[in-house]
Amino acid sequence: MTELLFYHLQGCTLEQTLPRLIEKSLERGWRVVVQAASDERVEALDAHLWTYRDDGFLAHGTYKEASAREQPVLLTVKDDNPNAAQVRFLVDGAQWPAGVQGHERIVLLFDGGDADAVAAARARWGAAKAEGLAVTYWQPDEGGRWQRKG
Please report, rounded to a whole number, the percentage of residues in the chain having pLDDT higher than 70.
Answer: 98
* Cα–Cα nearest to 70, from 78, 57, 61: 61
pLDDT tens digits, 31-77: 999 999 999 999 999 999 999 888 888 999 999 999 999 999 999 99
The pTM score is: 0.94
Question: Is 114's pLDDT higher than 80?
Answer: yes
- Structural domain that includes position 138: 3-148
Counting the structural domains of the chain, the total is 1
Question: Is 140's pLDDT higher than 70?
Answer: yes
Structure confidence at residue 142 as a pLDDT band (50, 70, 90): confident
CATH number at residue 96: 3.40.50.10110
* Cα–Cα nearest to 46, from 60, 36, 35: 60
- Provide the pLDDT for residue 103: 86
Residue 82 to residue 105: CA distance in whole angstroms: 16
| DSSP-based helix, strand, coil % in the chain, nearest 5 | 30, 25, 45
